[in-house]
Structure 1
Protein backbone atom coordinates (compact mmCIF):
# COMPACT_ATOMS: atom_id res chain seq x y z
CA UNK A 1 0.00 0.00 0.00
CA UNK A 2 1.36 3.42 -0.99
CA UNK A 3 0.94 6.13 1.67
CA UNK A 4 -1.32 8.98 0.60
CA UNK A 5 0.39 12.37 0.15
CA UNK A 6 -0.47 15.17 2.52
CA UNK A 7 -2.96 17.65 1.16
CA UNK A 8 -4.02 21.09 2.24
CA UNK A 9 -7.70 22.00 2.13
CA UNK A 10 -8.83 25.40 0.87
CA UNK A 11 -11.68 25.92 3.29
CA UNK A 12 -12.37 24.88 6.82
CA UNK A 13 -15.61 24.06 8.48
CA UNK A 14 -16.10 27.44 10.15
CA UNK A 15 -18.37 25.98 12.82
CA UNK A 16 -15.70 23.88 14.50
CA UNK A 17 -12.55 25.36 16.04
CA UNK A 18 -9.47 24.13 14.20
CA UNK A 19 -5.91 25.21 14.05
CA UNK A 20 -3.80 25.80 10.99
CA UNK A 21 -2.24 22.64 9.70
CA UNK A 22 -4.45 20.33 11.77
CA UNK A 23 -3.47 16.74 11.10
CA UNK A 24 -6.29 14.30 10.55
CA UNK A 25 -5.33 10.78 9.52
CA UNK A 26 -3.22 10.80 6.38
CA UNK A 27 -4.39 14.25 5.33
CA UNK A 28 -3.04 17.50 6.65
CA UNK A 29 -5.57 20.24 6.09
CA UNK A 30 -4.75 23.91 5.95
CA UNK A 31 -7.42 26.05 7.55
CA UNK A 32 -7.39 29.78 6.95
CA UNK A 33 -7.45 31.89 10.12
CA UNK A 34 -10.93 32.68 11.31
CA UNK A 35 -12.29 36.19 10.97
CA UNK A 36 -11.76 36.61 14.73
CA UNK A 37 -7.98 36.05 14.55
CA UNK A 38 -7.09 39.69 13.93
CA UNK A 39 -8.28 40.80 17.37
CA UNK A 40 -5.69 38.62 19.09
CA UNK A 41 -2.90 40.01 16.95
CA UNK A 42 -3.83 43.68 17.26
CA UNK A 43 -3.95 44.32 13.52
CA UNK A 44 -6.02 43.60 10.45
CA UNK A 45 -3.46 41.56 8.53
CA UNK A 46 -4.82 38.05 9.09
CA UNK A 47 -8.42 38.90 8.30
CA UNK A 48 -7.44 40.95 5.27
CA UNK A 49 -5.10 38.26 3.94
CA UNK A 50 -7.91 35.72 3.69
CA UNK A 51 -9.31 36.80 0.30
CA UNK A 52 -5.84 36.99 -1.27
CA UNK A 53 -4.89 33.64 0.26
CA UNK A 54 -7.97 32.06 -1.33
CA UNK A 55 -6.89 33.37 -4.75
CA UNK A 56 -3.36 32.04 -4.28
CA UNK A 57 -4.70 28.69 -3.11
CA UNK A 58 -7.04 28.49 -6.11
CA UNK A 59 -4.15 29.16 -8.49
CA UNK A 60 -2.01 26.42 -6.89
CA UNK A 61 -4.84 23.85 -6.77
CA UNK A 62 -4.32 22.82 -10.39
CA UNK A 63 -6.64 19.79 -10.32
CA UNK A 64 -9.47 21.75 -8.63
CA UNK A 65 -10.01 19.20 -5.86
CA UNK A 66 -10.01 21.77 -3.04
CA UNK A 67 -6.69 20.57 -1.64
CA UNK A 68 -3.00 21.06 -2.36
CA UNK A 69 -1.14 17.81 -2.58
CA UNK A 70 2.61 17.66 -2.09
CA UNK A 71 3.33 17.81 -5.83
CA UNK A 72 1.17 20.93 -6.31
CA UNK A 73 2.85 22.55 -3.32
CA UNK A 74 6.41 21.84 -4.54
CA UNK A 75 5.62 23.03 -8.07
CA UNK A 76 4.08 26.23 -6.69
CA UNK A 77 7.02 26.83 -4.37
CA UNK A 78 9.54 26.32 -7.15
CA UNK A 79 7.65 28.39 -9.71
CA UNK A 80 7.18 31.40 -7.43
CA UNK A 81 10.63 31.40 -5.90
CA UNK A 82 13.04 30.21 -8.58
CA UNK A 83 11.04 29.91 -11.79
CA UNK A 84 11.80 31.79 -14.98
CA UNK A 85 10.04 35.06 -15.73
CA UNK A 86 7.56 33.43 -18.10
CA UNK A 87 6.72 30.74 -15.50
CA UNK A 88 6.06 33.40 -12.88
CA UNK A 89 3.88 35.31 -15.32
CA UNK A 90 1.97 32.14 -16.20
CA UNK A 91 1.27 31.73 -12.49
CA UNK A 92 0.32 35.42 -12.19
CA UNK A 93 -2.13 34.90 -15.05
CA UNK A 94 -3.69 31.93 -13.23
CA UNK A 95 -4.03 34.12 -10.16
CA UNK A 96 -5.98 36.75 -12.14
CA UNK A 97 -8.03 34.09 -13.99
CA UNK A 98 -10.55 33.79 -11.17
CA UNK A 99 -13.08 31.66 -13.08
CA UNK A 100 -10.33 29.50 -14.67
CA UNK A 101 -11.72 29.91 -18.19
CA UNK A 102 -8.33 30.66 -19.75
CA UNK A 103 -8.93 34.41 -20.02
CA UNK A 104 -8.95 37.36 -17.67
CA UNK A 105 -11.32 40.29 -17.79
CA UNK A 106 -11.35 43.67 -16.10
CA UNK A 107 -13.70 42.44 -13.36
CA UNK A 108 -11.20 39.71 -12.40
CA UNK A 109 -8.32 42.19 -12.43
CA UNK A 110 -10.32 44.48 -10.14
CA UNK A 111 -11.19 41.58 -7.81
CA UNK A 112 -7.56 40.60 -7.41
CA UNK A 113 -6.46 44.23 -6.94
CA UNK A 114 -9.05 44.53 -4.16
CA UNK A 115 -7.62 41.43 -2.44
CA UNK A 116 -4.06 42.77 -2.77
CA UNK A 117 -5.03 46.20 -1.43
CA UNK A 118 -6.39 44.60 1.73
CA UNK A 119 -2.79 43.55 2.44
CA UNK A 120 -1.28 47.00 1.95
CA UNK A 121 -1.22 49.12 5.12
CA UNK A 122 -3.33 52.29 4.82
CA UNK A 123 -0.27 54.48 5.38
CA UNK A 124 1.46 52.81 2.41
CA UNK A 125 -1.65 53.14 0.23
CA UNK A 126 -1.55 56.89 0.74
CA UNK A 127 2.03 56.94 -0.61
CA UNK A 128 1.07 55.30 -3.90
CA UNK A 129 0.75 57.48 -7.02
CA UNK A 130 -2.65 59.17 -7.32
CA UNK A 131 -3.61 57.10 -10.37
CA UNK A 132 -3.10 53.77 -8.57
CA UNK A 133 -3.89 54.44 -4.88
CA UNK A 134 -7.14 52.46 -4.87
CA UNK A 135 -7.82 48.95 -6.16
CA UNK A 136 -10.10 50.29 -8.86
CA UNK A 137 -7.56 52.88 -10.07
CA UNK A 138 -4.79 50.27 -10.12
CA UNK A 139 -7.00 47.82 -12.03
CA UNK A 140 -7.96 50.55 -14.53
CA UNK A 141 -4.33 51.52 -15.04
CA UNK A 142 -3.22 47.91 -15.54
CA UNK A 143 -6.11 47.14 -17.90
CA UNK A 144 -5.29 50.24 -19.97
CA UNK A 145 -1.79 48.87 -20.70
CA UNK A 146 -3.37 45.97 -22.56
CA UNK A 147 -5.47 48.33 -24.70
CA UNK A 148 -8.63 46.35 -24.06
CA UNK A 149 -12.15 47.68 -23.67
CA UNK A 150 -13.84 47.10 -20.32
CA UNK A 151 -15.94 44.25 -21.73
CA UNK A 152 -13.09 42.48 -23.58
CA UNK A 153 -10.95 39.66 -22.29
CA UNK A 154 -7.25 38.93 -22.30
CA UNK A 155 -5.56 35.62 -23.16
CA UNK A 156 -2.52 34.33 -21.28
CA UNK A 157 -0.12 35.02 -24.16
CA UNK A 158 -1.33 38.62 -24.44
CA UNK A 159 -0.98 39.05 -20.67
CA UNK A 160 2.60 37.74 -20.60
CA UNK A 161 3.68 39.66 -23.71
CA UNK A 162 2.09 42.88 -22.42
CA UNK A 163 3.87 42.64 -19.08
CA UNK A 164 7.25 41.67 -20.51
CA UNK A 165 7.09 44.55 -22.99
CA UNK A 166 6.02 47.14 -20.42
CA UNK A 167 7.96 47.62 -17.20
CA UNK A 168 5.28 49.91 -15.76
CA UNK A 169 2.57 47.29 -16.27
CA UNK A 170 4.84 44.67 -14.71
CA UNK A 171 5.23 46.86 -11.63
CA UNK A 172 1.44 47.09 -11.24
CA UNK A 173 0.96 43.37 -10.66
CA UNK A 174 2.87 43.36 -7.39
CA UNK A 175 3.56 45.54 -4.41
CA UNK A 176 6.95 46.24 -2.87
CA UNK A 177 6.94 48.93 -0.20
CA UNK A 178 9.63 51.57 -0.35
CA UNK A 179 12.25 49.32 -2.06
CA UNK A 180 13.54 48.42 1.42
CA UNK A 181 11.79 45.21 2.23
CA UNK A 182 10.22 42.77 -0.18
CA UNK A 183 6.55 42.05 0.47
CA UNK A 184 5.72 40.85 -3.00
CA UNK A 185 2.22 39.53 -3.32
CA UNK A 186 2.97 38.42 -6.84
CA UNK A 187 6.66 37.60 -7.15
CA UNK A 188 8.52 40.14 -9.24
CA UNK A 189 9.43 38.18 -12.37
CA UNK A 190 12.46 40.27 -13.15
CA UNK A 191 13.20 42.14 -9.96
CA UNK A 192 13.07 45.64 -11.48
CA UNK A 193 10.06 47.01 -9.62
Structure 2
Protein backbone atom coordinates (compact mmCIF):
# COMPACT_ATOMS: atom_id res chain seq x y z
CA UNK A 1 0.00 0.00 0.00
CA UNK A 2 3.04 2.20 -0.04
CA UNK A 3 4.82 4.12 2.64
CA UNK A 4 3.65 7.56 3.65
CA UNK A 5 6.39 10.16 3.61
CA UNK A 6 6.05 13.57 5.25
CA UNK A 7 2.71 15.28 4.88
CA UNK A 8 -0.47 13.28 4.47
CA UNK A 9 -1.39 13.39 0.78
CA UNK A 10 -4.87 14.40 -0.34
CA UNK A 11 -5.20 11.02 -2.09
CA UNK A 12 -4.36 9.13 1.10
CA UNK A 13 -6.71 11.28 3.15
CA UNK A 14 -9.59 10.82 0.68
CA UNK A 15 -8.91 7.10 0.48
CA UNK A 16 -8.89 6.68 4.28
CA UNK A 17 -12.05 8.78 4.65
CA UNK A 18 -13.82 6.40 2.24
CA UNK A 19 -12.34 3.14 3.52
CA UNK A 20 -12.32 3.66 7.31
CA UNK A 21 -14.71 4.98 9.93
CA UNK A 22 -12.39 7.80 11.00
CA UNK A 23 -13.03 11.50 10.56
CA UNK A 24 -10.67 13.84 8.74
CA UNK A 25 -9.40 15.29 12.04
CA UNK A 26 -8.81 11.81 13.49
CA UNK A 27 -6.87 10.67 10.42
CA UNK A 28 -4.72 13.81 10.47
CA UNK A 29 -4.03 13.34 14.20
CA UNK A 30 -3.17 9.64 13.75
CA UNK A 31 -0.88 10.55 10.85
CA UNK A 32 0.91 13.19 12.88
CA UNK A 33 1.57 10.70 15.70
CA UNK A 34 2.61 7.99 13.24
CA UNK A 35 5.10 10.33 11.52
CA UNK A 36 6.56 11.48 14.84
CA UNK A 37 7.10 7.89 15.97
CA UNK A 38 8.13 6.42 12.60
CA UNK A 39 10.08 9.10 10.78
CA UNK A 40 10.84 6.80 7.83
CA UNK A 41 7.13 6.87 7.03
CA UNK A 42 6.51 3.21 7.83
CA UNK A 43 6.68 0.77 10.71
CA UNK A 44 9.04 -2.19 10.37
CA UNK A 45 8.15 -5.54 11.91
CA UNK A 46 10.70 -4.85 14.64
CA UNK A 47 9.07 -1.44 15.32
CA UNK A 48 5.63 -3.04 15.43
CA UNK A 49 6.64 -5.81 17.80
CA UNK A 50 8.41 -3.32 20.08
CA UNK A 51 5.29 -1.13 20.19
CA UNK A 52 3.06 -4.16 20.74
CA UNK A 53 5.22 -5.37 23.63
CA UNK A 54 4.88 -1.96 25.32
CA UNK A 55 1.09 -2.27 25.15
CA UNK A 56 1.17 -5.64 26.95
CA UNK A 57 3.93 -5.43 29.54
CA UNK A 58 2.65 -8.37 31.63
CA UNK A 59 2.86 -10.91 28.80
CA UNK A 60 5.23 -11.85 26.00
CA UNK A 61 3.91 -10.03 22.93
CA UNK A 62 6.69 -11.03 20.53
CA UNK A 63 5.08 -14.10 18.94
CA UNK A 64 1.62 -12.61 18.60
CA UNK A 65 3.09 -9.28 17.50
CA UNK A 66 4.93 -11.02 14.64
CA UNK A 67 1.74 -12.78 13.55
CA UNK A 68 -0.32 -9.58 13.73
CA UNK A 69 2.27 -7.75 11.65
CA UNK A 70 1.89 -10.44 8.98
CA UNK A 71 -1.87 -9.80 8.89
CA UNK A 72 -1.62 -6.01 8.95
CA UNK A 73 1.10 -5.83 6.25
CA UNK A 74 -1.44 -6.49 3.51
CA UNK A 75 0.96 -6.00 0.60
CA UNK A 76 3.59 -8.19 2.32
CA UNK A 77 6.46 -5.80 1.68
CA UNK A 78 7.80 -6.01 5.25
CA UNK A 79 6.66 -2.46 6.04
CA UNK A 80 3.49 -1.23 7.66
CA UNK A 81 2.48 1.91 5.78
CA UNK A 82 0.22 4.53 7.29
CA UNK A 83 -2.68 3.22 5.15
CA UNK A 84 -2.15 -0.35 6.36
CA UNK A 85 -1.81 0.89 9.92
CA UNK A 86 -5.09 2.82 9.69
CA UNK A 87 -6.94 -0.13 8.13
CA UNK A 88 -5.84 -2.29 11.03
CA UNK A 89 -6.69 0.31 13.68
CA UNK A 90 -10.05 0.80 11.97
CA UNK A 91 -10.91 -2.91 12.09
CA UNK A 92 -9.73 -3.29 15.68
CA UNK A 93 -11.40 -0.18 17.08
CA UNK A 94 -14.33 0.47 14.76
CA UNK A 95 -14.71 -2.64 12.68
CA UNK A 96 -17.79 -4.76 12.53
CA UNK A 97 -17.73 -8.22 14.09
CA UNK A 98 -17.51 -9.61 10.54
CA UNK A 99 -14.41 -7.52 9.79
CA UNK A 100 -12.77 -8.59 13.05
CA UNK A 101 -13.71 -12.20 12.34
CA UNK A 102 -12.05 -11.98 8.92
CA UNK A 103 -8.93 -10.51 10.53
CA UNK A 104 -8.92 -13.28 13.16
CA UNK A 105 -9.18 -15.95 10.47
CA UNK A 106 -6.23 -14.41 8.62
CA UNK A 107 -4.27 -14.42 11.87
CA UNK A 108 -4.79 -18.16 12.32
CA UNK A 109 -4.33 -18.97 8.61
CA UNK A 110 -0.58 -18.48 8.81
CA UNK A 111 0.27 -19.64 5.29
CA UNK A 112 -2.70 -17.90 3.66
CA UNK A 113 -4.20 -21.02 2.03
CA UNK A 114 -7.75 -20.21 3.23
CA UNK A 115 -7.79 -22.98 5.84
CA UNK A 116 -6.51 -23.35 9.38
CA UNK A 117 -4.55 -26.48 10.25
CA UNK A 118 -4.01 -27.87 13.74
CA UNK A 119 -0.37 -26.74 13.57
CA UNK A 120 -1.39 -23.18 12.68
CA UNK A 121 -3.99 -23.14 15.45
CA UNK A 122 -1.42 -24.41 17.96
CA UNK A 123 1.09 -21.72 16.95
CA UNK A 124 -1.45 -18.91 17.42
CA UNK A 125 -2.76 -20.42 20.67
CA UNK A 126 0.82 -20.51 21.94
CA UNK A 127 1.31 -16.87 20.91
CA UNK A 128 -1.94 -15.77 22.56
CA UNK A 129 -1.27 -17.69 25.73
CA UNK A 130 2.23 -16.23 25.96
CA UNK A 131 0.55 -12.83 25.93
CA UNK A 132 -2.41 -13.44 28.25
CA UNK A 133 -1.20 -16.53 30.13
CA UNK A 134 0.11 -14.64 33.16
CA UNK A 135 -3.31 -13.03 33.56
CA UNK A 136 -5.21 -16.31 33.09
CA UNK A 137 -3.01 -18.54 35.27
CA UNK A 138 -5.13 -17.95 38.34
CA UNK A 139 -8.56 -18.20 36.70
CA UNK A 140 -8.39 -20.61 33.73
CA UNK A 141 -8.53 -24.39 33.87
CA UNK A 142 -5.06 -25.88 33.40
CA UNK A 143 -5.92 -27.44 30.02
CA UNK A 144 -6.78 -23.97 28.67
CA UNK A 145 -3.16 -22.95 29.30
CA UNK A 146 -1.73 -25.72 27.11
CA UNK A 147 -1.73 -24.71 23.40
CA UNK A 148 -1.87 -28.29 22.04
CA UNK A 149 -4.71 -29.35 24.35
CA UNK A 150 -6.58 -26.14 23.53
CA UNK A 151 -6.17 -26.82 19.81
CA UNK A 152 -7.55 -30.35 20.17
CA UNK A 153 -10.58 -29.01 22.08
CA UNK A 154 -11.17 -26.24 19.54
CA UNK A 155 -10.95 -28.66 16.62
CA UNK A 156 -13.43 -31.00 18.32
CA UNK A 157 -15.83 -28.05 18.61
CA UNK A 158 -15.18 -26.31 15.27
CA UNK A 159 -14.40 -29.15 12.82
CA UNK A 160 -17.85 -30.71 12.74
CA UNK A 161 -17.15 -32.65 9.50
CA UNK A 162 -13.76 -33.97 10.75
CA UNK A 163 -11.74 -32.63 7.80
CA UNK A 164 -8.66 -32.01 9.92
CA UNK A 165 -8.64 -28.30 9.03
CA UNK A 166 -10.99 -25.34 9.40
CA UNK A 167 -12.48 -23.30 6.60
CA UNK A 168 -13.71 -19.77 7.26
CA UNK A 169 -17.29 -21.00 7.81
CA UNK A 170 -16.16 -23.55 10.43
CA UNK A 171 -14.07 -20.91 12.17
CA UNK A 172 -16.79 -18.25 12.08
CA UNK A 173 -19.37 -20.58 13.58
CA UNK A 174 -17.04 -22.03 16.19
CA UNK A 175 -15.36 -18.85 17.37
CA UNK A 176 -18.60 -17.53 18.79
CA UNK A 177 -18.54 -20.35 21.35
CA UNK A 178 -14.90 -19.96 22.41
CA UNK A 179 -14.68 -17.36 25.19
CA UNK A 180 -10.94 -16.64 24.85
CA UNK A 181 -10.81 -16.20 21.07
CA UNK A 182 -14.14 -14.40 21.04
CA UNK A 183 -13.03 -11.96 23.76
CA UNK A 184 -9.68 -11.24 22.12
CA UNK A 185 -10.92 -10.97 18.56
CA UNK A 186 -14.58 -10.05 18.42
CA UNK A 187 -15.50 -7.88 21.38
CA UNK A 188 -15.50 -4.15 20.89
CA UNK A 189 -12.33 -2.80 22.56
CA UNK A 190 -13.89 0.63 22.87
CA UNK A 191 -17.40 2.03 22.70
CA UNK A 192 -18.56 3.05 19.22
CA UNK A 193 -19.32 6.64 18.45
TM range (shorter): 0.5 to 0.7
8 A contact 1:104–1:155 mirrored in 2: yes
**Partner SS for 1:68:** strand
The alignment of Structure 1 onto Structure 2 pairs a total of residues equal to: 153
1:37-76 to 2 correspondences below 5 Å: 45=59, 48-76=60-88
1:173 aligns with 2:189: no
Q: Distance in 1 between matches of 2:136 and 2:171?
A: 27
Q: CA deviation at 1:117?
A: 0.9
Alignment RMSD: 3.3
Identify, as 1 or 2, the structure richer in helix. Answer: 2
**Partner SS for 2:76:** coil
Q: Evaluate the alpha carbon distance shift between residue 80 and residue 111 of structure 1 in structure 2; reply closer, same or farther with a 3 A threshold.
A: same
1:30-109 to 2 correspondences below 5 Å: 30=44, 31=47, 32-33=49-50, 45=59, 48-109=60-121
**Partner SS for 1:173:** helix
Identify, as 1 or 2, the structure richer in strand. Answer: 1
1:116 aligns with 2:128: yes
Q: Distance in 2 between matches of 1:160 and 1:139?
A: 16
Q: CA deviation at 1:96?
A: 0.3
Unaligned runs of 5+ in 2: 6-36
1:5 aligns with 2:4: yes
Q: CA deviation at 1:137?
A: 2.1
Higher normalized contact order (CA 8 Å, seq sep 6+, divided by chain length): 2
Q: Distance in 1 between matches of 2:148 and 2:188?
A: 23
TM-score between the two structures when normalised by the length of structure 2: 0.65
Unaligned runs of 5+ in 1: 7-20, 176-183
Residues 33-54 of structure 1, C-alpha deviations (whole Å, 9 max, x = no match): 4xxx99xxxx763xx2111101
